[in-house]
Amino acid sequence: NAGVTQTPKFQVLKTGQSMTLQCAQDMNHNSMYWYRQDPGMGLRLIYYSASEGTTDKGEVPNGYNVSRLNKREFSLRLESAAPSQTSVYFCASSPGLGTDTQYFGPGTRLTVL
Amino acid sequence: GEDVEQSLFLSVREGDSSVINCTYTDSSSTYLYWYKQEPGAGLQLLTYIFSNMDMKQDQRLTVLLNKKDKHLSLRIADTQTGDSAIYFCAESYNQGGKLIFGQGTELSVKP
């Protein structure tokens, strides 16, 4: 089992460009999450998907969209990147919502110039 | 609102015990977690404790929970250089599946 995988590992964008971060899990988990990590701020939830076909906003959803393509895959899209979106992005999955343990991918380091 | 606070840095000598502290505000939390993040890597679950427990021990790790004071600690016995990392505490509760993370404590272990 690979667990949670993310692509790409690194990305540099110019302001206004768009891109999609990919995430996949092979643990048959129902719930998936996108977080961003900024220095001194811990991780903050951007969007989550309780189950296939549903998505909900987290703490910091502005400037992002998500797609739960199927049970395995959950993508995060930046339509018009801004320097404030420079961050490390983590995808996570869990068997269900609420108290189930979340398992994290290795992260995508995004820089917006 | 929910908030989780941790001190940012801790430095110990190899072989000593490390104690990383965390305070949280949401009394409805059901689970509290400790995650470890090594440089350039994702978060690895170390251990967790259910909110009706006071203590949990797992090899070199001891988690203490004081619900009255909303204080959580992680003790690492016989700390090794390989324990150098950032440690995050997080709380979860049965609303929306969110994990609320602290800022992370960077543990530095000196030989």
Q: Which tens digits make up the pLDDT trace of A2-56?
A: 799 999 999 999 999 999 999 999 999 999 999 999 987 788 999 999 889 899 9
Give the pLDDT confidence score for residue B91 in this predicted structure: 87
End-to-end Cα separation, chain A, in angstroms: 36
Does the distance separating the beta carbons of A99 and B94 come in below 8 Å? yes
* B88 neighbourhood in chain A, CB within 8 Å: 42-43
Residue of B nearest to A39 (CA): B103
**In the beta sheet, which residues pair with residue B45?**
B35
pLDDT tens digits, A86-99: 999 999 999 887 66
Instruction: Choose among B30, B41, B45: nearest Cβ to A99.
Output: B30
Phi, psi angle pair for B67, to nearest 5°: -70, -35
Q: Give the pLDDT mean for A61-87.
A: 96
Residue of A nearest to B34 (CA): A101
Residue of A nearest to B37 (CA): A106
* A33 neighbourhood in chain B, CB within 8 Å: 97, 99
* DSSP per-residue letters across A53-94: T--EE-S--TT-EEEE-SSSBEEEEESS--GGG-EEEEEEEE
